[in-house]
Structure 1
Amino acid sequence: MARELRVPKALTALPAPVRWLALPVALTCAIVVLVGSWGPAEPEVEAPRPGGKAAAYCRSLVAALPAELLGHARKDPSPASPYVAAWGSSPRTVLRCGIDRPEELDGEHAKDLSPTVDDLTWWSQKLDDGSYRFVATMRAAYVEVLSPPGVYGSPLDPAAALTPLVKANVPG
């Protein structure tokens, strides 16, 4: 004996084409939502752990950083850190304050280009992925800015834009 399939009255009141399309439309919407939430994951940012006065300077600097940097909205990485800030998304510009002194400053990269902006020297290093790493030297805490490839007219632009805030919050 075959069981009869009963359709709810609310669905039988709808025209047949709407009933036929309801399930495919609902499935398509669910797939779009799922795929949209799978966007590219940003790489984790290791938060530095400065101590003493450097920690206070870094907290002050990160608190003073702008909500927008050169047209890119601030979107700090998760988990949040009082020593890290980021702008933009995939790729993003990242500032880390209180990093350890880069070992490269003693190696073959020690003589890499070190541009000076408003009397603040930024030691620079081009990374394998095409991005640039700028580290403010001769300060009470090392401040690092990672500038992604192809986002700015010059890779130094974000470090240059942040120079006044670094100078105001991290003494030399």
Structure 2
Amino acid sequence: MARELRIPEALTALPAPVRWLALPVVLTCTVVALVGSWSSADPDIQVPQPSGRAADYCRALAGALPQELLGRPREDPSPASPYVAVWGGSPRTVLRCGVDRPEELDGPHAEDWSPTVDGVTWWSQKLSDGGYRFVTTMRAAYVEVTVPAGAAQNPFDPAAALTPEVKANIPG
């Protein structure tokens, strides 16, 4: 026993080409909307997942971070996270709070240049693209600031400028 397919009267009133195209158009629009929402997340930035006290400290730091860093506006990625902050478009300076302790701190790079500003020590690592990565040491949560080549006149300036907020929110 075959079931008869009944088309609503509102659709039968439409010309045949419109009826034929309605479903493909709706499906295409749905796919475009989904793909657009997925691509809003920045795949280049890995969002840390701190837990416990480190997560609390990072959320406090997020609330204290400036909307402008060295003349560059804050442009956080979407979806927003209390563990990531971004300044400038391209190149951009990225702060990530609650990152894991860098493995390089146990190897030959442990003795690399580590400037201290106002009691906060920043371990540094030169990146292959000419930029730098700075990570706090001896704090209750690790804070990483990545400064690509060309993002600042002196690569250490962004980390140094963020030191007061780090010191006030991440205990040593």
Calculate the TM-score normalised by the size of structure 2: 0.74
8 Å CA contact 2:42, 2:78 repeated in 1: no
In the alignment, structure 1 segments of 5+ residues that lack a partner are 1-40
- Partner Cα separation in structure 2 for residue 48 and residue 96 of structure 1: 7
Displacement, 1:42? Answer: 6.3
Identity within the alignment, %: 72
Matching residue of 2:163: 163
8 Å CA contact 1:131, 1:148 repeated in 2: yes
1:91 aligns with 2:105: no
Displacement, 1:90? Answer: 1.3
RMSD: 1.3
- Partner Cα separation in structure 1 for residue 98 and residue 43 of structure 2: 20
Q: Find runs of 4+ consecutive structure 1 residues off by over 4 angstroms.
A: none
In the alignment, structure 2 segments of 5+ residues that lack a partner are 1-40
Residues 96-123 of structure 1 show CA distances to partners (whole Å, capped at 9, x for unaligned) of 0000000010112111100111111000
- Partner Cα separation in structure 2 for residue 151 and residue 99 of structure 1: 22
Instruction: Report SS of the residue matched to 1:140.
Output: coil
Instruction: Report SS of the residue matched to 2:80.
Output: coil
- Partner Cα separation in structure 1 for residue 157 and residue 60 of structure 2: 22
- Partner Cα separation in structure 2 for residue 128 and residue 136 of structure 1: 20
1:105 aligns with 2:105: yes
Q: What amino acid does structure 2 have at the position aligned with 1:68?
A: E
Q: How does 1:135-154 map to 2 (within 5 A)?
A: 135-154=135-154
| Alignment length (residue pairs) | 132
Matching residue of 1:45: 45
Q: How does 1:1-172 map to 2 (within 5 A)?
A: 44-172=44-172
Displacement, 1:44? Answer: 2.0
Q: What amino acid does structure 1 have at the position aligned with 2:163?
A: T
8 Å CA contact 2:133, 2:144 repeated in 1: yes
- Partner Cα separation in structure 2 for residue 113 and residue 43 of structure 1: 30
Instruction: Report SS of the residue matched to 1:82.
Output: coil
Instruction: Report SS of the residue matched to 2:98.
Output: strand
Residues 99-148 of structure 1 show CA distances to partners (whole Å, capped at 9, x for unaligned) of 00000101121111001111110000000011100001100000000011
Displacement, 1:43? Answer: 5.3
Q: What amino acid does structure 1 have at the position aligned with 2:140?
A: A
Instruction: Report SS of the residue matched to 1:60.
Output: helix
Q: What amino acid does structure 1 have at the position aligned with 2:130?
A: G
Displacement, 1:151? Answer: 2.4
